Structure 1
Amino acid sequence: MENEWIDKSPFTAYKGKTKNVDRFYLNKEELANIAGKEFLSERLKQVRDVFIFCCFTGLAYVDVFKLKQENIRKGIDGDRWIFTNRQKTKTRSSVPLLSTAVEIVDRYATNKVCLNKGLLLPVPSNQKMNEYLKEIADLCGIEKKLTSHIARHTFATTVTLLNGVPIESVSKMLGHTNIRTTQHYAKILDIKVSEDMAVLKKKLAMI
């Protein structure tokens, strides 16, 4: 049309369709089960730690894979934060480190592999990560398909939204460019709706 080769766009009447995808996440019991599990294998311990770190930071695999010590800096509150740019959207992501994430960072501060490569954590390839996560799920008796991305979903739901963190803050930490992307997580939290309505019932009962 711009070159005047055609008079009108053949896509004028086309309407794209979107498909809602179920986002699986771990509940707090499943999360605690994995975090507290004792593994004999060092590789499973490391993969579990990387996975739990993602659960408490919301970072996607590709972002945690390239994390370096310099990405950890003092935030506005004086505590340690992660400052990075999301690989997928190129947006800035700033996440305060929760105590669980801090423990994992400190655990690998003197790890030889991390020191040699200049990385924050010993993150394997995505294929190996998901392969070992399947093994971890079997050992922990978890039927959900564990992947590196389910950790990000767990951060958005179980760790933050279900604990009352405003959706705007969750969206900023996840590095979403549009809050509607974050709202997909809020839609699946029936338990949060139940808790919110329980609070409302108590308030109405006092009137």
Structure 2
Amino acid sequence: MKTRIVKRNYVNADGESLLYLHVTKNYQRERIPLDIYVPASLWDPKKARLKPDTTKARDINLILDNVDSKITGIRTMFRLAEKQLSLEKFIQEFRNSIPRMDFLAFMEYQLGQEKKLLKSGTVRRHKAVLNKLRRWRDTIYFTELDEALLTKIKVHFKSLGNDSTTIESNMSVIKKYINAAARAGIRLPITGDDIKVGSTRGHRTDLKAAEIKKIHELFFSPFINQRYRLTAGYFLFSCFTGLRISDVKQLKRKQLDEQNFFFVSVKTGKRQWVTISEKLRKIIEEDERLFVQMPTNEEMNRVLKKIATLCGIDKNISFHVARHSFATNFLRMGGKVQDLQKILGHSKISETMIYVHIVESEACEKIKIMDNLW
């Protein structure tokens, strides 16, 4: 592969011409504009630099030295990684400047590249992991990414208060970007296969009917903080429908005027129907801000923890607990698991059966009433 910096023949009104990088390989040629303008009369085509020794010339020549260094860096990286450097890959590397030293910079770059392909919730989750890592270190070099460092990263996540499920979820994100780095030709002390991610399913916290009733009473109380009321309204809506927060956030108030409405699930892409029950209608009508104003996910989860404290509920509540609560209470009330599968939009009945097992385990606990036999 051959590269050279050349000046465009066209001269603008200021007497300057645009510089290009010419790249040729196997009779293919590409021309990349460098967005650098130089005085046409002072350009030395043999040296590919400006001729007079002036401050401006030295500054421009220094920039061109950096261009040459960048080209050398790309060639070196591919040679060390024992990867074939095609014309297409060279242009991609030159234009995009993939970070090849700092893993955190690479994560940020790669996330920016994939942002439009990922769901908003996934982008937020990956950004959260990146921010957690940056709270620990400003830079993590690829050369130090080994099993010992990954163990230290887990310890850091634990120090932030993350439970085992969250830590494993964080590690799955890190594994994704390590695999992406390997595909980009970056050499690493480990591979994605070396990272064993544990279960990310975790314990499914749910609220019993009496606990939901406490939040329901707080929602209708005239003394409730209005910020709390809005979050409580959305949470109760999910408790009575089983909708994920991503689906709740896409709904508009005018959709809820009908007795039945449909939506397309953000996560699954499936078309789902919802029927507005009598209790649900009263909740919607109680606060006209519902499905007009929408707090962030983080704000609602913070407020829900305060609501739980106010209601005397000793459980770690997030918005997703509402979906679990709907599922378990639906079964407790005698609902069929096949119907629950359709309502929740599960592709496989095995996903829904998890809630059946939760309810069944509660029934097994009732054997303890035999302790009152005498």
Q: What TM-score do the two structures reach when normalised by structure 2?
A: 0.41
- Which of residues 212, 235, 257 in structure 2 aligns to 1:31? 212
**Aligned counterparts, 1:5-16, within 5 A:** none
Task: Quote the offset at 1:142 in angstroms.
Answer: 0.9
The answer to whether the 8 Å contact 1:162/1:192 transfers is no
In structure 1, what is the equivalent of residue 295 of structure 2? 124
Gaps spanning 5+ residues in structure 1: where?
1-15, 75-79, 115-119, 195-207
CA shift in 2, pair 1:177/1:93, >3 Å = same
More strand by share: 2
Question: Aligned equivalents of 1:140 and 1:133: distance in 2?
Answer: 10
Describe the superposition over 1:51-71 as per-residue Cα deviations: whole angstroms up to 9, x where unpaired. Answer: 111100101111101101353
1:139 to 307, 310, 313: 310
Query: Residues 253 and 292 of structure 2 are in contact (CA less than 8 Å); yes or no, is this contact kept in structure 1?
Result: no
Tell me the secondary structure at the aligned position of residue 207 of structure 2: coil
Instruction: Give the whole-Å Cα distance in 2 for the aligned partners of 1:163 and 1:82.
Output: 24
- Name the structure 2 match of 1:101: 280
Task: Tell me if the contact between 2:233 and 2:284 (Cα under 8 Å) persists in the aligned partners.
Answer: no
Q: Does 1:21 align with 2:205?
A: no
1:190 match: 360
Secondary structure of the structure 2 residue equivalent to 1:137: helix
Residue in 1 aligned with 2:180?
Answer: none
Cα gap change, 1:18 to 1:47, in 2 (>3 Å)? closer
Partner of 1:43: 227
* Residue identity opposite 2:210 in structure 1: E
Give the Cα separation in 2 of the matches to 1:61 and 1:134.
16
Letter in 1 for 2:236: I
1:83 aligns to what SS in structure 2?
A: strand
Does the 8 Å contact 2:308/2:315 carry over to 1? yes
> Partner amino acid for 2:310?
L
Aligned to 2:320: 149
Aligned to 1:200: none
Contact 2:262 2:273 in 1 (8 A): yes
- Relative to structure 1, the CA distance from residue 20 to residue 130 in structure 2 (aligned partners, 3 Å threshold; closer, same or farther) is closer
Alignment deviations for residues 17-50 of structure 1 (CA, whole Å, 9 cap, x no partner):
8665321100111111111123431010111111
Q: Name the structure 2 match of 1:91.
A: 270
User: How many positions carry a matched residue from both structures?
Assistant: 167
Q: Alpha-carbon deviation of 1:123?
A: 2.8
Q: Which amino acid aligns with 2:232?
A: R
Give the alignment partner of residue 58 of structure 1, picking from 242, 266, 278.
Answer: 242
Tell me the C-alpha RMSD between the 2 structures: 2.5
The correspondence for 2:343, drawn from 156, 173, 176, is 173
What is the TM-score with the length of structure 1 in the denominator? 0.72
Question: Which blocks of at least 5 consecutive residues in structure 2 are unaligned?
Answer: 1-196, 365-374
Question: What is the CA–CA distance in structure 1 between the aligned matches of 2:198 and 2:273, rounded to whole Å?
Answer: 33
Structure with the bigger RCO (C-alpha within 8 Å, sep 6+) is 1
Task: Indicate the percent of aligned positions where both proteins have the same amino acid.
Answer: 32
For 1:45, what is the secondary structure of its paired residue? Answer: helix
Residue 137 (structure 1) shift = 0.8
Q: Is the 1:55–1:152 Cα contact (8 Å) retained in structure 2?
A: yes
AA in 1 matched with 2:318: T
Identify if the C-alpha distance between structure 1 residues 192 and 161 changes in structure 2 by more than 3 Å, giving closer, same or farther.
Answer: farther
Give the alignment partner of residue 72 of structure 1, picking from 239, 256, 261.
256
- Decide which of 64, 78, 82 is 2:261's aligned counterpart: 82
Provide the rounded CA distance (Å) in 2 between the counterparts of 1:191 and 1:157.
Answer: 12
